[in-house]
Amino acid sequence: MGAKMANPLTTIARGGAAHSLAPVDPAGSSLARMLRFERRWLVRVFENLLPRGADPRLSLGAADVPMGRFVDDLLASSPLEFTVGLRLCLWMTMLAPLVVLRRFRTFLGLSQDDKMAVVAGTNVGGGEGDGTMGMPFFPNLFLKSGS
């Protein structure tokens, strides 16, 4: 009864051409705007923190969409200050298990349960009398880094 439409989950029109939404690794690399291995880390962190089906409203996860192209586009068009801040956050995330779990592993080398423990802030807190005791890792990290 009408024109057959493309599946919006598999293709997207961009500049008159259809592009696949298949997952891809980042292609760009720049010393000022993240090296390729940092871009791959960022994509993997997104994939771990935004899995498919984690919430009923989230039908697709980060692993199901072209996060590599998103990261390349984001870093190419964002201000340098944003890129530096994102790089700092990425490195703090990757090295968080050293502080949170006291394990010599990166974030991506942990089991899924341990990754969620890092995000939730298990085993994190300051010394006695510290008002941040028991706060989740990421907000605690940013509060302390800003003071």
Residue identified by tokens 């989950």 is 9
**Element (H or E) spanning 26, and its range?**
none
Contact 125, 134 (CB under 8 A): yes
pLDDT value, residue 11? 45
Strand residue runs (E) in the chain: 11-14, 17-20
| pLDDT at site 139 | 57
Q: Which residues contact 105 (CB under 8 A, 6 or more apart)?
A: 97
**Tell me, what's the pLDDT at 40?**
93
In the chain (147 residues long), the average pLDDT of successive 10-residue segments reads 44 49 70 87 89 84 88 91 89 86 88 82 49 50 51
Q: Which of 70, 45, 50 is nearest to 60 (CA)?
A: 50
pLDDT for res 63: 87
Position 53 scores a pLDDT of 84
